[in-house]
Amino acid sequence: MPTDSPSSGLPSPGRRAVLGAAAAATVLAGLPGTASAAPAEGRQPVRKRPRALPGGGDLGPNVVVFDPSTPNIQGRLDEIFRQQESAQFGTGRYQLLFKPGTYHGLNAQIGFYTSISGLGLSPDDTTINGDITVDAGWFNGNATQNFWRSAENLAVVPVNGTNRWAVSQAAPFRRMHVRGNLNLAPTGYGWSSGGYIADSRIDGQVQPYSQQQWYTRDSAIGGWLNGVWNMVFSGVEGAPAQGFPNPPYTTLTTTPVSREKPFLYLSGNEYRVFLPEKRTNARGVTWGSGTPRGTSLPLTRFYVAKPGVSAATLNQALAEGLHLLLTPGIYHLDRPIRVDRAGTVVLGLGYATLIPDNGVTALRVADVDGVRLAGFLIDAGPVNSPTLLEIGPAGASRDHSANPTTVQDVFIRIGGAGPGKATTSMVVNSRHAIVDHTWVWRADHGDGVGWETNRADYGVVVNGHDVLATGLFVEHFNKYDVQWFGERGRTIFFQNEKAYDAPNQAAIQNGSIKGYAAYRVGDNVTSHEGWGLGSYCYYNVDPTIVQHHGFAAPNRPGVRFHDLLVVSLGGNGQYERVINDTGAPTSGTSTVPSTIVSYP
């Protein structure tokens, strides 16, 4: 398929369309070069230490800040949307920030790589009387490629009573207050495929319509209209009752552990970053009554990075005790970013994108407490990286239960914007880590896409014990999409598609097993649990391919699954079983899921 960019026109509605159809400059201080004083006779040159990097500073040209008195807000919003509406693999990155206050008559249409956020401590501090809209006019009413955009920390009073947020993967809706209904489908109720809501209050009804799968966490809703295949709720006041598979609702009363994403806000005229505290057995929003619980850091504690800064400078800032705020843009890395200090925050704005060059790993976290990674995209480079993101070193074993590392709205892409390769995308070695909403995607369309062109064997590998994943989207890997070797792992919501482009049955043969499971629990694991997991196949190159199962796990009492499904999209490939050797095969061309309510 052609690259989707502002100049390339509409992409042809390929594989994702079928999926839907099946369902119905002050801080840019680099490391100075080593300088030498003129040596006196008989003395060695004196090397100067790199000067300390400054904290704080301006947020750069692609962070656009509005207040209620800003002239022609709508015009600026429309200008950015025209640029980003169809720029699926473009280079533009934007963060829209609204200062506390009330805004009237706005329709903020949100395109690719655009984040819109309020700057209050509570969503209700910043109210838009209008709409924050995602639709799919750019793609003929098909929302299955509405990726990489977000809304956060705002109250919205929709003009007609219903706000439209028609998205698929990597498009979080966090810490929002919709004073009305929320429609998750595009105009005309065309195709849409997946999404995520957290820490939000929807006063009216959430209306998924064509959404095939969705995860909602720690929120409050006035009602939920329908479900297609896989609607999962944890800690949601007003959630529908458990009903899987008919209706397809998986409902947990609480979320075992959660800690909301860090966010930028204004205290007077000072920018700060709020760090919400950890909750156990969480339910409902964090901001419903008074100031949210947590701590905050002034922007002066952050190195405010701009595109073009080197990895050496980012590491110098971290070594000097600064946190990182990645402003919108693309960052090429010739070495890994190393997060070695407990409590470090790496926060991206406007889908700041890290590209590792020459096969390096983009970011590595030490075995320390309380690191928070949030709000950025890692895009694989053309030289194969063994890994792209490492949470803890191999063999990490420290107890982080009191202050875990969190990975939130951190997305990984291999191919699509150009050739990219990585053997394993994300490795989680640290104990008690929380992976809260990620989309790890080997591209199935765009530029640099092919079975070997964007080769990526493994999506997510979890070696650490006591890891929790809430909202895990992993798709299209050449072999296993998820492998889980740590003990006491838990996943609430998993969405997967197997690689579309396998050339033939032999290409996916896994020893004596037909195909690699989407989600595999290691043979030696004694305790694991998952709720609301789905895997889909659409083998469009060779529709005769057979996948034995979507899920593989040791058959023992401590390894438990609830509400599993597999589905063949239009009969392009088939599953023989759901998990291990259990479950009915998929049903020909009818695109009816095969389900398991409880395993074993």
**271 φ, ψ to 5°?**
-75, 135
Residues forming a β-bridge with 438: 472
| Token couple for 428 | 């989680």
User: 480: phi > 0 → left, psi -120 to 50 → alpha, else beta; which?
Assistant: beta
| Token couple for 57 | 């500073």
The 3-state secondary structure of 374-417, one letter per residue: EEEEEECCCCCEEEEEEECCCCCCCCCCCCCCEEEEEEEEECEE
CA distance 125 to 225: 29
Q: Residue 453: which residues within 8 A CB-CB, separation 6 or more?
A: 415, 419
Q: Residue 45: which residues within 8 A CB-CB, separation 6 or more?
A: 36, 37, 39
Residues forming a β-bridge with 266: 271
CA distance 432 to 38: 53
CA distance 243 to 226: 12
Closest CA to 525 of 557, 559, 550: 559
| Token couple for 421 | 């390769």
Cβ-contact 151, 205 below 8 angstroms: no
The arrangement of strands across the sheet holding 482-484 comes to 337-339, 363-365, 385-391, 422-428, 458-462, 482-484, 519-521, 551-552
Residue 265, classed as helix, strand or coil, is: strand
CA 192 to the chain's CA centroid: 17
**Residue tagged 């230490």 (tokens):** 49
Q: Among the options 85, 260, 475, 497, which is catalytic? A: 497
| Token couple for 138 | 């750019």
**Whether 497 is catalytic:** yes
**Annotated active-site positions, please?**
497
